[in-house]
Structure 1
Amino acid sequence: MEITNRQYLIEQLTDADFIDDSGASYEATIYNNIACPYIYGDERALCYGKEIDKVNREMCFKCKEKWLDSEIDM
């Protein structure tokens, strides 16, 4: 089955179980393909107020996932 990168991203973001690997592909797709949606100092970011050595992949993934599920800022 051939699939475009666009289709892959849509499927991954729509269905965390699109690839049966216990969510690893879903997490990697979000972490690697979505830039941080916040500017430095934004209180909505999960890393807000944290020491730089406390910021990690898991925190960034959860923050980006939270942002994806949030309403659009207009």
Structure 2
Amino acid sequence: MRNREYIITQLNDKNLIDDDGASYESMVCNSIACPYFTGDERAFCLYEDVKENDYDTCFKCKENWLNSEVSE
């Protein structure tokens, strides 16, 4: 399996590897750069209740972006 195939498969199947989703979460956080520009209101790290740009916030934000419709 090539890296491209692994990434696609992992993103399409959260349970590809039986590690309780850790590989999926890691793939999302480490392989996808922040999809938003500074000041974009869709970025979770801009919410007032988020004090810093932490791993969990980035994961939730990137997963939300992955599940969103493509903006044109």
So what's the TM-score if we normalise by structure 1? 0.89
Shift of 1:48: 1.0
| Separation in structure 2 between the aligned mates of residue 50 and residue 9 of structure 1, nearest angstrom | 33
- The 3 A distance-change label for structure 1 pair 51 and 39 is farther
RMSD: 1.6
Instruction: Tell me the secondary structure at the aligned position of residue 44 of structure 2.
Output: coil
| Separation in structure 2 between the aligned mates of residue 51 and residue 69 of structure 1, nearest angstrom | 23
AA matched with 1:30: V
Instruction: Tell me the secondary structure at the aligned position of residue 54 of structure 1.
Output: coil
1:29 alignment counterpart: 27
Q: 2:44 aligns with which of 21, 25, 46?
A: 46
AA matched with 1:8: Y
| Separation in structure 2 between the aligned mates of residue 49 and residue 65 of structure 1, nearest angstrom | 16
Q: How many residues align?
A: 72
Shift of 1:54: 2.3
Q: 2:10 aligns with which of 6, 9, 12?
A: 12
| Separation in structure 2 between the aligned mates of residue 4 and residue 50 of structure 1, nearest angstrom | 41
User: What stretches of structure 2 of length at least 5 have no aligned partner?
Assistant: none
Structure 1 residue 66 corresponds to structure 2 residue 64: yes
Shift of 1:37: 0.2
User: What stretches of structure 1 of length at least 5 have no aligned partner?
Assistant: none
Q: Percent identity?
A: 51
| Separation in structure 2 between the aligned mates of residue 52 and residue 62 of structure 1, nearest angstrom | 12
